[in-house]
């Protein structure tokens, strides 16, 4: 995402299908400082996503939809205290199950007021 990181006033980012074709995506700090909404939809190759501490500090809405190879949520999600809504759609059951209280990804999402799962 090095090219997009150079857009300091970016507030909404929606990546669909071939908009990102890599296996690993990194949101590095201190970038995406004004980004409020991020949608990742049908990124067929995406397997790993890293969010560095200090990246996307204004993010309020995150949607992940049909990124079926994505193994887990990024650890750095726990640092985004502004996040108000996480929407997970058409993702594998194993991916969703990790976010349940007591499971391995719960600590990453426990601060988010609204988490929506749908198929």
Q: What pTM does this model have?
A: 0.93
Q: Using 70 as the pLDDT threshold, list the residues of the chain that sit under it.
A: none
Q: Is the dihedral of CA 82, 88, 89, 90 positive or negative?
A: positive
| Residue 90, domain extent | 4-118
The confidence score (pLDDT) of residue 74 equals 96
- Kindly give, in sequence order, each residue whose CB lies less than 8 Å from that of residue 71, ignoring residues fewer than 6 positions away: 47, 48, 95
The confidence score (pLDDT) of residue 10 equals 95
**Helix residue ranges, H only, 16-119:** 93-97, 106-109
- Kindly give, in sequence order, each residue whose CB lies less than 8 Å from that of residue 89, ignoring residues fewer than 6 positions away: 63, 64, 65, 66, 117, 118, 119
The confidence score (pLDDT) of residue 47 equals 96
The confidence score (pLDDT) of residue 6 equals 85
**Number of domains into which the chain is organized:** 1
């Amino acid at each position: 995402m090095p090219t997009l990181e150079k857009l300091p006033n970016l507030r909404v980012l929606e990546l669909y299908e071939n908009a990102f074709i890599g296996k690993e995506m990194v949101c590095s700090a201190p970038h995406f400082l004004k980004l409020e909404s991020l949608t990742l939809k049908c990124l067929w190759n995406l397997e790993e996503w890293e969010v560095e501490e200090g990246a996307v500090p204004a993010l309020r809405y995150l949607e992940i939809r049909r990124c079926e190879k994505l193994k887990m949520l990024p650890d750095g999600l726990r640092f985004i205290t502004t996040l108000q809504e996480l929407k997970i759609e058409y993702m594998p059951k194993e991916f969703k199950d990790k976010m349940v209280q007591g499971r391995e990804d719960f600590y990453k999402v426990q601060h988010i007021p609204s988490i929506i799962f749908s198929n």
